[in-house]
Amino acid sequence: MEATVQSNDLQYDETKQYKVMPIVISLLLSGFIGMFSETALNIALTDLMKELNVGPTTIQWLTTGYLLVLGILVPISGLLLQWFTTRQLFVASVSFSTLGSLVAAMAPNFEVLLVARVFQAAGTGLLLPLLFNTILVIFPPAKRGAAMGMMGLVIMFAPAIGPTIAGLLIEKLTWHWIFWISFAVLLISLIVGIVFLQNVSKITRPKIDLLSIVLSTAGFGGLVFGFSKAGESDGWGSASVIASLVIGGVALILFVWRQLTMENPMMDLRAFRYPMFTLAVIMLFVVMMVLLSSMLVLPMFLQNGLGRNALSAGLLLLPGGIINGLMSPIMGRLFDKYGPKWLVIPGLVIIASILWLMSGITTASTAAFIIAMHSCLMIGISMVMMPAQTNGLNQLPPEFYPHGTAIMNTLQQVAGAIGTALAVSILSAGQEKYLGDQGFDVSHGLDPANLTDPSIMQHLPNAFAYGVKNAFIFAVSMAVVALICSFFIKRVKVGKA
């Protein structure tokens, strides 16, 4: 029988009655659109550069700015969950997202669109921790796996299908419709939430420590910004990247020190005293790096390595996104029945194996191979994400729920920024090495303006494939780290539901 560890859970209150279905529907609808927004716009960036008359460095702020706001807001969400009611936070978050979508849909220029993205990110940053915290409160421990599995539709399914839906909309309509559809769904979610959502969280109103907020903003914001810019066009040697990472690192160290020495910290890092929570955070950090970096690298390879257009690339990745969404609730129910070990360990074995196979990718790789590998990778990720996360949170006492969800969501944002930055850097280094071995001068970088030799064009797809191979080899090493950690996972004993 699987070993268990005792949770200090104060137990789910069975005397409270919640309208679970309306609460979940309103939260999942708005959360789905929030995560969808993270990736849907990526495929439209080329069209936006032409229509808004801006360059690649400028247009990337639509993504960098979004991630930056998340990196700043999510860490303080634990504090907000203790200061405001569930309804107040829900209405505020969805209102921000709805307003942002409406403004973006009508945006006449880049500046207005960027402001709209900031509003969207503010809504998502407030909503995600609220979603996790509410699930922990309204579901008894024995049913949380299934509930967290439904959240897999939000956390993984939405960003996975974002590029495909966006590609279809751009092909048939315009990029504005990405936001019009988001606006319509968010408006429905807001109405359903206002009517049915109940206050489920406990308001304690702890003292607000302004220094902690400043250090958190500088620390997490600096790291997310630095890694995002390094992974875009600035490179690791850029003064802005180095300054951001140094400031972020120093501020984060001071933030951790302050939280550990305060009586009532803004983000209670004592949650790491619970071993299953700590293991879950490590594994989720690695898996999120793998997920978001592969979601960046694969579409780029399909377009630059295999010559597919944006719509075709999105459609090839659609089966994996659908499978991932369908598998998440199934894995949640299996977790409730069998615990995490028999899902997480095989899941990480699948992830590491598939990444190893994908490291052999070439320009001769078929579409069927890409679809099969991506689909299997998504199955492995669904076996790890929700079971590990639920098991880790189950070990926390209820007073740690806001802090635990804030820690997990914050580090997942940081993991995404780090994973994509490292993937792009490794990919670019591989390209340069391949072209250098072919005798081409790449000392001035891979910008098309610097590649003056006409014969270089025929080597670019193979160079890109070589870079992608190196990126996947790095991902394999990260998956092995998570796999080693998974051997220590034990089911948390939470008592009766």
- Which CATH number goes with the domain that contains 36? 1.20.1250.20
| Rounded mean pLDDT, 142-165 | 70
* 401 and 433 assigned to the same domain: yes
pLDDT at residue 444, rounded to an integer = 53
Q: How confident is the model at residue 236 (pLDDT cuts 50, 70, 90)?
A: confident
103 and 215 together in one domain: no
Residue 368 within a domain: yes
Rounded CA gap, 291 and 83, in Å? 33
**CB 223 within 8 Å of CB 413:** no
* Whether the predicted pLDDT of 288 surpasses 80: yes
Torsion of CA 173, 176, 178, 184, to 10 degrees: -110
Q: Residue 323 and residue 379: Cα distance in Å, rounded? A: 7
Q: Which of 242, 265, 288 is the last residue of a domain?
A: 265
Residue 184 CB burial class (10 angstroms; 0-12, 13-18, ≥19):
middle
pLDDT of residue 345: 92
Give the pLDDT score at 201.
Answer: 67
Picking from 119-123, 125-129, 228-232, 258-262, which range would have the lowest pLDDT averaged per residue? 228-232
Residue of higher predicted confidence among 371 and 134: 371
Region 395-416 average pLDDT? 80
Alpha-carbon torsion (113, 117, 123, 127), positive or negative: positive
Give tens-digit pLDDT for 34-59.
777 767 776 676 677 777 777 656 67
444 and 384 both lie in a single domain: yes
pLDDT value at 462 more than 60:
yes
The pLDDT of residue 297 is above 50: yes
| 163 and 287 assigned to the same domain | no
User: Would you state the structure tokens that stand for residue 18, as one six-digit string?
Assistant: 């919640």
d(CA 97, CA 318): 25
pLDDT of residue 123: 86
Statement to judge: residues 254 and 389 lie in one domain: no
* Maximum average pLDDT range among 231-235, 373-377, 394-398: 373-377
% the chain with pLDDT above 70: 81
Of 88-97, 304-313, 338-347, 388-397, the poorest mean pLDDT is in 304-313
pLDDT band at residue 17 using 50, 70 and 90 as cut-offs: low
Q: Is the pLDDT of residue 353 over 90?
A: yes
50 burial (CB, 10 Å; 0-12 / 13-18 / 19+) is exposed
Beta carbons of 65 and 72 less than 8 angstroms apart: no
User: In terms of domains, do 309 and 445 share one?
Assistant: yes
Question: What H or E segment, with its residue span, contains residue 345?
Answer: helix 341-358
CA pair distance 75, 127, nearest whole angstrom = 12
Q: 374: buried, middle or exposed (CB in 10 Å: 19+, 13-18, 0-12)?
A: buried
Does one domain contain both 81 and 106? Answer: yes
What residues form DSSP beta bridges with 346?
none
- Whether residue 235 lies inside any domain: the answer is yes
The reported pLDDT for the residue numbered 1 is: 40
Domain edge (last residue) among 265, 282, 313: 265
Answer yes or no: are the C-beta atoms of 193 and 28 closer than 8 Å: no
**Other C-beta atoms lying within 10 Å of the C-beta of residue 258:** 18
On whether both 37 and 160 belong to a single domain, the answer is yes
Name the band, by pLDDT with cuts 50, 70 and 90, for residue 453.
low
Q: Are 490 and 2 in contact (CB under 8 A)?
A: yes
Tokens of 396: 């926390």
Res 10 pLDDT > 60: no
Q: Are residues 140 and 212 in the same domain?
A: no
- At residue 352, the pLDDT reads 92
Q: Which helix (H) or strand (E) holds 26?
A: helix 20-40
Average pLDDT of the residues in 120-141? 77
Q: Sign of dihedral through CA atoms 87, 91, 94, 96?
A: negative
Q: What confidence score (pLDDT) does residue 351 get? A: 92
Is 340 in the same domain as 458? yes
Are residues 260 and 172 part of one domain? no
Are 168 and 183 in the same domain? yes
Q: What distance in Å separates the CA atoms of residue 142 and residue 337, rounded to the nearest whole number? A: 8
Q: Is residue 8 part of a domain?
A: no
Q: Which residues have a Cβ under 8 Å from the Cβ of 484 and sit 6 or more positions away?
A: none
Domain-located, residue 288: yes
Under DSSP, the state recorded for 283 is: H
Q: Which of 224, 250, 265 is the C-terminal boundary of a domain?
A: 265
pLDDT of residue 440: 64
Mean pLDDT (whole number) for 253-267: 85
Q: 348 falls in which pLDDT band (50, 70, 90)?
A: very high
What pLDDT does residue 6 have? Answer: 46
For position 347, what pLDDT does the model report? Answer: 92
Strand partners, 449: none
**Residue 250 predicted with pLDDT over 90:** yes
Residue 439 lies in a domain: yes
> Is the per-residue pLDDT at 12 higher than 50?
no
Please check whether residue 2 lies inside any domain of the structure.
no
Highest mean pLDDT among 22-26, 124-128, 171-175, 213-217 belongs to 213-217
What is residue 19's predicted lDDT score, i.e. its pLDDT? 67
Domain that holds residue 246: 207-265
| 237 lies in some domain | yes
Number of domains present in the structure of the chain: 3
DSSP type of residue 15: T
List the structure tokens of 181: 């559809």
> Does position 366 have pLDDT exceeding 60, yes or no?
yes
Rounded to an integer, what distance in angstroms lies between the CA atom of residue 210 and that of residue 207?
9
Q: Is position 385 within any domain? A: yes
- Asked if pLDDT for residue 450 goes beyond 60, the answer is no
Amino acid 457: pLDDT: 64
Residues in the chain: 497
Phi, psi dihedral angles at 33 (to 5 degrees):
-65, -35
What average pLDDT does the structure give for the chain?
78
- 79 CB contacts (<8 Å, ≥6 apart)? 206, 208, 213, 266, 267, 402
Q: How far apart are CA 369 and CA 366, in angstroms?
A: 5
Q: What percent of the chain has pLDDT over 90?
A: 6
Query: What's the pLDDT score for residue 350?
Result: 94
